[in-house]
Amino acid sequence: MKRVSVFAPATVANVACGFDVLGFSLNEPGDEVILSLSDDSGIEITKITGDDGRLPLDVQKNTGGVALLHMCEHLKFSGGLKMEVHKKMPMGSGLGSSAATAVGAVVALNELLNHPIERKDLLPFVLEAERAACGAAHADNAAACLLGGFILVRSNEPLDVIQIPFPDDLFAAVIHPHIEIRTEDTRRILRKQVSLTRAVQQWGNLGGFVAGLHQSDYDLISRSLEDVIIEPVRGLLIPGFESVKNAALDAGALGSSISGSGPSIFALCRGEEAAQKVGKSMQN
């Protein structure tokens, strides 16, 4: 029986100045998705571990299941599939947990079927699953998880995802406080209107950040890692956010902000050693 195991990493979306357009993948943690062909018909989720029993085994309700259903329909594949999900990352933490399961599932199926679909063209199936899970499909986590490294979602409609090169020595430290925040709630507290002045500051920073990544200019990356629109609002929902961020900056981080809609907090650093030091300071 053919069987593949796929690791799908956690991801950081928004990345300070890039609300809804920037994301990057982490080396760890992540989900392990094991998919095998089966003689039984249909898709079955046989096991989920690491979720404290909170994720549904119902294929229609699980992001991995939904992504597989859409991909099978697209491929007109009607064979049987059995999926196991080993969640080795926190859920509801702003690290793209739901996207990771879906990415793991579609990459595994593509592998099982000998790559009928190009890697980047798997994204729409993941987005269908995200839409089912969160009510809205934002491609930032999903694309970063699927493609790795830094991605820019230039446009959601039509979907246009761009990979951004980044300097070798760029490392991230991430901590996640033991509280959960629902993405819907963190969206609801955002104002629908922003001042043009702030918007200009934000896109100046986004342009600077994208240029800094291309030019391996750590100083520019650092100066650009500033969110004048979303963080001032969402930071209020995360107890201790300011002190964790300041600890990161004091320990030498290039910048620090909320991962996705939180409560996880990331910091970008120059060098692995620096990232480890920053991570420890953030924990304290």
**Would you tell me which residues interact with its own copies (CB under 8 A)?**
17-22, 152-155, 160, 162, 164, 190-197, 199-208, 210-211, 214-215, 220, 223-224, 229
Name the residue nearer to its own copies (CB basis): 167 or 177.
167
Q: Which residue has the tokens 């996705």?
A: 260
Write the CA distances from 234 to 145, 222, 242, integer angstroms: 23, 21, 11
Provide, rounded to whole angstroms, the least separation between the CB of residue 130 and its own copies: 17
CB of 231 to its own copies, least distance (A): 14
Could you give the residue numbers annotated as active site? Answer: 130, 183
**Amino acid occupying residue 191:** R
Shortest reach from residue 23's CB to its own copies, in Å: 12
**Whole-number Å distance between alpha carbons of 241 and 234:** 10
Which residue, 114 or 193, has its beta carbon nearer to its own copies?
193
Q: Least distance to its own copies from the beta carbon of 92, Å?
A: 23
Whether the Cβ atoms of residue 227 and residue 190 lie closer than 8 Å to each other: no
Q: How far apart are alpha carbons 174 and 63 in whole angstroms?
A: 24
CB of 214 to its own copies, least distance (A): 4
The token duo for 85 is 């999900």
Q: Find out whether 55 and 62 touch, Cβ atoms under 8 Å.
A: yes
Q: Which residue's CB is nearer to its own copies, number 10 or number 21?
A: 21
245 burial level (CB within 10 Å; 0-12, 13-18, 19+) = buried
Q: Is the dihedral of CA 169, 170, 176, 180 positive or negative?
A: negative
Peptide bond into 263 cis (omega under 30): yes
- Residue 30, H or E segment: strand 22-38
For its own copies, the closer CB: 22 or 170? 22
Bridge partners, residue 88, by sequence? 30
Nearer to its own copies, 90 or 255 (CB): 255
